[in-house]
C-alpha cells in the first residue's frame, strides 16, 4: 500500500467514525443528568457532558430513568444557560422535579437541528463527513474502502457507547464510594420490627450524602440514593447496612425536607437517651421497606399483612413518632392516618406511649418544641379534616378510608384524637413557658440591687444662680 493510500484510508476511517458518531447522537443520543434542581423561580438541568444546544434554540425534550414519573410523563421546553446547564421552562411551581440521575433526550429530528459543536447543527456535520466519505471512497479500492468504513463505524459506535456509560455523575461516584467505604451487612430478615435503623446510622448516612440532599425531600433520597444502592442486592436499605430491632415507629410525609426529618429524629432520640442517642432504633418506611417489592411491603391489598402493621403491633414498639411541621402534612396522607389509627388502637397497652409529635426543635408533648411551633400546628389541625387525606395509590386510599370509617366514631373519632393530642402539646408548651418565665423572673429579682438616683446632664454646683440661657431652657 502506497503512502497516499494510507493517508486516504486514515482520512476515511476518521470521517466514517465521526459520521457514525454524529448519526447515533442525532438519533439515539441522551444526555446524562448530573442534577435537576429548583433555583429561584425556575428549574435548572445540569448535564454531565456538554449538551451542545445551539444559542436561541428552545427545543422540546423528554426525560427517562429519573425516578420522577411526573417528569417523564410530559415533554418540556428547554433553553441554553451555559455549556453544561439548561433552563427547564415550567409554569408550575412546587413540583417535585428534583433529581440527580437519568437522561435528557431530544426526539428525532430535533437533535440534528438544534444541537452541534461550534454552533453548527449536527445535520451539517453529517453532510460534511458524508461528502468526505464519498469523495475518499472513489480513490480507494472497493475492498479497502469497505474494510476501513467498517472499522470507522465500529470506532464511532464504541465512542458513542463510551459517552453513554453509566456512573459518570457526581452522585453515582458518591454512591460507589459509600458501597466501598461502609461496612455493609447485606443481611436479609423478615418484614416488620426486625428491620430498623439506629439514629446514629441514619444521621451518618444522611450526612454522607448531605451535599446532594440539601433541602430536598425523601422522594429524592429514595429514588436517587436508596434504590440505586440496593439495586444489585434487591434488599431494603436496612438489610444492606445491618438491621436492628425497633424501639420506635416513625410516621412521616415523604414531601418534607429530609434535613428537618433528621433533626427531629435526633431531638427525639436525645430526649430519651441523652448520652446514647445514636443507639435508639427506628422503623422508617423509606429505609425499612424493600423499595423493590413495595406491593409486598404494603400487604398486597391486605393492611393486616403490611410491614407498617407488623411493626406497629410489635411488642418492641414503644410508640409512634410522627415527624410534623406547621402544615401538619403527615395528617394529610392516608398511610400516615393508618399509622394514627393503629396508634389509637394500641394506646394504653403495655409500654406503648401513643402518638408523639416531633419537630426539628423537640417533642411537642414535652413542651420543648417552642410555643410558636405548637401554636402553628394547632391552628392547622383546628381546620383539618382527616377525611381529605390523599394517597399515591387510589386503592390504598379506599382501603384505609374504609378501615377508619369502621372503627368506633370513624373519622370524627380520628379528628378528636388528633386534636386532643395537639391540646396536650399546647398545655405542655404553656407549662414549660410559664416555668421558664418564673425561673427567669425569680433570678432577675434575686440579683437586683437598690441604686441611688442617677445624676442628670443638667446638674450645677449648689449655690450658683442660673444664667439667662438656663432660665430660657427651663421654659
pLDDT in tens, 62-81: 999 998 888 898 899 999 99
> In the numeric block, which cell numbers belong to residue 115?
444541537
pLDDT in tens, 116-125: 999 899 999 9
Sheet containing 362-363: which strands, arranged edge to edge?
Answer: 197-198, 281-283, 248-251, 320-323, 355-359, 362-363
Of the pLDDT bands very low, low, confident and very high (cuts 50, 70, 90), residue 473 is very low
CA distance 265 to 44: 31
270 burial type by CB count under 10 A (0-12 exposed, 13-18 middle, 19+ buried): middle
CA distance 440 to 388: 44
Rounded to the nearest integer, the mean pLDDT of the chain is 86
pLDDT at 209 over 90: yes
Sign of CA dihedral 215, 220, 226, 228: negative
CA distance 52 to 46: 13
Q: Which residues contact 208 (CB under 8 A, 6 or more apart)?
A: 174, 178
Are β-strands 60-64 and 197-198 bridged in parallel, bridged antiparallel, or unpaired? unpaired
pLDDT at 441 over 60: yes
Strand stretches in 56-135, DSSP E? 60-64, 76-80, 85-89, 103-106
Domains of the chain: 3-163 (2.40.30.180), 171-435 (no CATH)
Question: CA geometry: angle at 249 spanning 189 and 285, to 5°?
Answer: 60
CA distances from 37 to 86, 97, 98, 318 (A): 11, 7, 5, 38
Position with higher pLDDT, 297 vs 107: 297
Confirm whether pTM is higher than 0.85: no
CB 12 within 8 A of CB 133: yes
Reference 75, options 63, 85, 57; nearest CA is: 63
> What is the phi/psi pair of residue 342, to 5°?
-65, -35
pLDDT in tens, 329-381: 888 888 888 888 888 888 766 678 888 888 888 888 777 766 677 777 778 78
Q: Which residues contact 262 (CB under 8 A, 6 or more apart)?
A: 202, 203, 206
Reference 237, options 278, 297, 167; nearest CA is: 297
Lowest mean pLDDT among 81-95, 200-214, 460-474: 460-474
> In the numeric block, which cell numbers belong to residue 74?
410530559
Best-predicted range by mean pLDDT among 150-164, 229-243, 361-375, 396-410? 229-243
CA distance 206 to 217: 12
Reference 197, options 185, 213, 208, 209; nearest CA is: 185
> What is the phi/psi pair of residue 64, to 5°?
-150, 155
In this prediction, residue 469 carries a pLDDT of 43
pLDDT at 471 over 50: no
Amino acid at each position: 500500500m502506497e503512502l497516499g493510500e494510507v493517508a486516504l484510508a486514515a482520512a476515511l476511517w476518521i470521517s466514517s467514525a465521526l459520521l457514525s458518531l454524529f448519526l447515533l447522537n442525532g438519533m439515539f443520543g441522551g444526555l446524562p443528568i448530573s442534577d435537576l434542581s429548583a433555583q429561584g423561580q425556575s428549574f435548572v438541568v445540569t448535564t454531565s457532558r456538554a449538551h451542545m444546544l445551539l444559542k436561541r434554540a428552545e427545543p422540546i425534550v423528554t426525560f427517562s430513568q429519573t425516578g420522577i414519573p411526573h417528569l417523564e410523563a410530559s415533554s418540556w421546553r428547554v433553553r441554553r444557560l451555559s455549556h453544561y446547564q439548561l433552563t427547564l421552562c415550567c409554569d408550575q411551581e412546587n413540583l417535585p422535579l428534583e433529581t440527580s440521575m437519568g437522561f435528557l433526550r431530544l426526539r428525532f429530528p430535533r437533535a440534528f437541528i438544534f444541537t452541534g459543536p461550534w454552533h453548527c447543527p449536527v445535520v451539517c456535520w453529517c453532510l460534511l463527513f458524508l461528502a468526505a466519505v464519498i469523495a475518499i471512497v472513489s480513490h480507494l479500492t472497493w475492498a479497502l474502502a469497505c474494510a476501513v468504513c467498517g472499522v470507522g463505524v465500529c470506532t464511532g459506535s464504541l465512542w458513542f457507547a463510551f459517552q453513554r456509560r453509566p456512573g459518570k455523575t457526581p452522585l453515582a461516584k458518591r454512591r460507589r464510594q459509600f458501597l466501598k467505604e461502609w461496612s455493609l451487612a447485606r443481611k436479609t430478615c423478615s418484614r416488620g420490627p426486625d428491620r430498623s435503623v439506629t439514629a446514629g446510622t441514619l444521621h451518618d448516612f444522611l450526612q454522607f450524602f448531605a451535599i446532594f440532599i440539601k433541602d430536598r425531600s425523601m422522594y429524592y433520597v429514595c429514588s436517587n440514593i436508596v434504590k440505586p444502592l440496593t439495586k444489585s442486592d434487591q434488599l431494603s436499605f436496612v438489610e444492606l447496612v445491618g438491621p436492628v430491632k425497633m424501639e420506635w415507629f416513625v410516621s412521616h410525609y415523604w414531601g418534607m425536607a429530609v434535613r428537618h426529618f433528621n433533626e427531629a429524629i435526633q431531638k427525639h432520640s436525645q430526649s430519651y437517651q441523652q448520652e446514647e442517642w445514636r443507639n435508639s432504633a427506628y422503623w422508617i418506611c423509606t429505609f425499612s421497606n424493600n423499595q423493590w417489592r413495595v406491593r409486598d411491603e404494603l400487604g398486597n391489598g391486605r393492611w393486616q399483612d403490611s410491614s407498617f402493621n407488623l411493626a406497629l403491633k410489635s411488642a418492641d414498639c414503644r410508640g409512634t413518632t410522627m415527624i410534623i411541621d406547621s402544615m401538619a402534612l403527615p395528617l394529610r396522607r392516608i398511610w400516615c392516618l393508618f399509622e394514627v389509627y393503629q396508634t389509637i388502637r394500641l394506646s394504653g397497652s403495655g409500654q406503648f406511649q401513643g402518638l408523639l409529635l416531633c419537630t426539628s426543635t423537640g417533642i411537642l408533648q414535652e413542651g420543648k418544641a417552642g410555643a410558636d411551633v405548637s401554636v402553628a400546628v394547632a391552628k392547622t389541625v383546628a381546620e383539618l379534616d382527616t377525611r381529605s387525606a390523599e394517597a399515591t395509590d387510589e386503592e390504598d386510599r379506599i382501603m384505609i378510608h374504609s378501615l377508619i370509617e369502621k372503627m368506633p366514631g370513624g373519622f370524627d373519632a380520628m379528628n378528636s384524637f388528633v386534636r386532643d393530642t395537639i391540646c396536650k402539646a399546647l398545655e405542655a408548651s404553656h407549662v414549660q413557658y410559664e416555668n421558664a418565665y418564673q425561673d427567669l423572673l425569680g433570678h432577675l429579682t434575686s440579683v437586683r440591687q437598690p441604686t441611688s438616683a442617677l445624676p442628670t446632664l443638667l446638674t450645677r454646683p449648689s449655690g450658683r444662680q442660673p444664667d439667662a440661657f438656663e432660665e430660657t431652657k427651663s421654659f
